[in-house]
Structure formats: structure tokens, C-alpha cells
């Protein structure tokens, strides 16, 4: 496979990096020998990012320079000494994975330069899996990071990135169930046995409701039972109550009279 330096001009792709020698300078730019049949041409506006008043202020004849292919035409190869963007706006699409450098930190996120016209923003919620309070907890300026493109707004020149999207998901280890979970089947079984006893009408305490089939005698309330017991007690007390004082007095009087009648008279 041919290297970029000796590849045919027709095979040169835009952004291909080449090394060449300045052959001639003009008011409009410079001619560069890049080892091709067609001459390489650098316009004055492509010598550097800053404005250039005179070509000789930047390059001189015989100087070796690094250049990049802009486009290939029939009669020339247009070059630039300004390193092209790694990604043009039309090349930036959602789900594209890029590598770049953290160039600025804010409380709400980190800006990453990955070779586009503008850095992309990794919001604090997209820095890592789990809660992140500030961007500085995860990255610092100068860090090389990898991220996925979430969204591109060409009109506003905004690029949203996510580092979390390419990180493996956190799998939590399964913890043993609490002991009470193992006791639950036993409790359910005891509850079921209790329901069966209830259905059979077995009474365990005063609040237990007995379900019986068919008509049954109405049960006396506690108040009624106490009242009946009081009546029975009253009857028993009357049966064992001693006779009245009046009857006792009459009986004592009769006994006294009989005694007096039987007593012998004394001298008088």
C-alpha cells in the first residue's frame, strides 16, 4: 500500500497529512513540493490561524513544512498549514464515540476538546454511574477521556457528550435474604392451621369468633349472666335467713312462762 507521501494525487483524501518543501512564495501564497505530479498550493489564508500580511513572514523558500490536503483538483492540490478539525459538524452524529482532553471544568460538568470546532459538554450527571456532586470529583483539566455523543445542535454550536454511556453497568451482588424471609413460610403455615381451627369452631379465647352451621341458641351476654347469678344468690340467702326478731321474742316469752310455772314457790 502506498504511503501518503508517494500516493497518487487522485488517492489523496482530505485531511491527509503530508510533508513538503516551499518551492516559491507569491503575494497570494506559496507553492509546495509534496512529491506529486500536481503542484501543491497554500493560500495565504491557510498559512496560520492568525491573519497574515506577508507570506514571507510565515514561510520562506526551501523551508520544510507540514501540510494537510484540503481538496484535490485537476490542476493542483490545495493544501493548508492549519491542522484541520478531526470532526466537521456534518461528521458528528449521536452514538459516535470520541476521545479528547478535558479543557475546562464547571460545577455542572466538564468540557472536552475532541477535535471539533467547539468542545463538547459532559454534564455532571453523565460523568459516571452513581451520584456525582461536582465534575472535579471525577476528572481534572488535562485528563484524556473517552465519551459518546448524545446530541448535536448545529444551530447553537453545542455538543452533548456522555462518559457514563460507555462505562460498564454496576452489578450489585445479591445479598442473602433476612432471616425473617425464611421464617415467613412457617408463619404462613401456622396461620393456615389457625384458620382451620377457626372453621371447626374451636374456641381459644373470648374474642375468637366461632363459625357454626345452621341455627343456634342465642347466647347470654355477660351482663345477663351476672344478673341471673345475683338473683340465684338472693334466693339462697332468703332460704337460710333466720326468723324475724318478733318470732324469736314470742318463743322466748313462752319458754320463760313455762319456766316460771314450774318454779317452786318460795317462802313469803
Q: Provide the residue ranges of all domains of the chain, joining segments of one domain with +.
A: 9-80, 89-166
CATH topology of domain 9-80: OB fold (Dihydrolipoamide Acetyltransferase, E2P) (2.40.50)
Report which of 117, 107, 51, 43 is spatially closest to residue 80, judged by C-alpha positions. 43
Right CATH number for 89-166 from 3.40.50.300, 1.10.600.10, 2.40.50.140, 2.10.10.90?
A: 2.40.50.140
Instruction: From 121, 143, 122, select the one nearest 132 (Cα to Cα).
Output: 122
CA distance 62 to 24: 8
> What does the pLDDT read at residue 226?
73
Q: Which residues does residue 236 pair with via DSSP β-bridges, in sequence order?
A: none
**How far apart, in whole angstroms, are the C-alpha atoms of residue 114 and residue 216?**
89
123, three cell numbers:
454534564
pLDDT at position 156 is 93
Secondary structure class of 246 (helix, strand, coil):
helix
Q: Name the band, by pLDDT with cuts 50, 70 and 90, for residue 207.
A: very low
| pLDDT per residue as tens digits for the range 239-266 | 665 555 555 567 666 766 666 655 555 5
pLDDT the model gives residue 212: 45
Query: Do the domains at 9-80 and 89-166 have one common CATH topology?
Result: yes
Contact between residue 95 and residue 130 where contact means Cβ atoms under 8 Å apart: no
Eight-class DSSP state of 233 = H
DSSP E strand boundaries for the chain? 17-25, 29-33, 40-43, 64-72, 77-80, 97-106, 109-113, 120-123, 144-153, 158-162
How high is the pLDDT of residue 200?
A: 55
Enumerate residues 6+ apart whose C-beta is below 8 A from 126. 109, 150, 160, 161, 162, 163, 164, 165
> What pLDDT, on a 0 to 100 scale, did the predictor assign at position 234?
74
Concatenated DSSP letters for 150-215? Answer: EEEETTTTEEEEESGGGSPPPPPPPPPPPHHHHHHHHHHHHHHHHHHHHHHT---STTPPPP-SS-
Asked whether the beta carbons of 16 and 68 are under 8 A apart, the reply is: yes
DSSP label at 89?
Answer: G
Q: Which three cell numbers stand for residue 131?
A: 451520584
Residues 121 and 161: beta-carbon distance below 8 Å: yes
Q: What is the pTM of this model?
A: 0.52
State pLDDT tens for residues 171-193. Answer: 666 566 555 555 566 666 667 67
Which pLDDT does position 228 carry in this prediction? 77
Indicate the SS3 state at residue 147. strand
Residue 32 has φ and ψ, to the nearest 5°, of -130, 135
The predicted structure's pLDDT at residue 236: 75
| pLDDT in the model for residue 98 | 96
User: What rounded mean pLDDT belongs to the chain?
Assistant: 80
Amino acid at each position: 500500500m502506498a504511503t501518503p507521501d508517494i500516493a497518487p494525487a487522485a488517492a489523496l483524501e482530505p485531511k491527509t497529512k503530508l510533508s513538503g518543501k516551499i518551492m516559491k512564495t507569491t503575494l497570494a501564497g506559496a507553492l509546495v513540493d509534496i512529491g506529486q505530479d500536481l503542484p501543491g498550493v497554500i493560500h495565504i489564508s491557510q498559512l496560520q490561524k492568525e491573519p497574515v500580511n506577508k507570506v514571507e513572514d510565515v514561510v520562506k523558500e526551501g523551508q520544510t513544512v507540514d501540510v494537510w490536503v484540503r481538496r484535490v483538483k485537476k490542476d493542483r492540490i490545495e493544501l493548508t498549514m492549519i491542522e484541520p478539525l478531526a470532526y466537521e459538524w456534518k461528521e458528528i452524529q449521536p452514538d459516535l464515540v470520541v476521545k479528547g482532553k478535558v479543557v475546562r471544568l464547571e460545577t455542572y460538568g466538564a468540557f472536552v476538546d475532541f477535535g471539533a470546532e467547539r468542545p463538547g459538554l459532559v454534564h455532571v450527571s453523565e460523568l459516571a454511574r452513581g451520584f456525582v456532586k461536582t465534575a472535579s470529583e471525577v476528572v481534572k483539566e488535562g485528563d484524556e477521556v473517552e465519551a459518546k455523543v448524545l446530541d448535536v445542535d448545529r444551530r447553537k454550536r453545542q455538543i452533548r457528550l456522555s462518559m457514563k454511556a460507555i462505562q460498564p453497568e454496576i452489578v450489585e451482588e445479591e445479598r442473602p435474604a433476612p432471616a425473617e424471609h425464611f421464617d415467613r413460610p412457617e408463619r404462613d403455615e401456622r396461620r393456615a392451621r389457625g384458620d382451620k381451627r377457626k372453621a371447626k369452631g374451636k374456641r381459644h379465647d373470648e374474642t375468637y369468633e366461632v363459625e357454626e352451621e345452621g341455627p343456634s341458641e342465642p347466647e347470654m351476654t355477660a351482663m345477663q349472666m351476672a344478673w341471673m347469678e345475683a338473683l340465684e344468690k338472693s334466693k339462697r340467702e332468703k332460704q337460710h335467713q333466720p326468723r324475724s326478731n318478733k318470732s324469736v321474742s314470742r318463743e322466748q316469752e313462752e319458754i320463760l312462762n313455762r319456766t316460771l310455772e314450774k318454779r317452786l314457790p318460795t317462802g313469803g
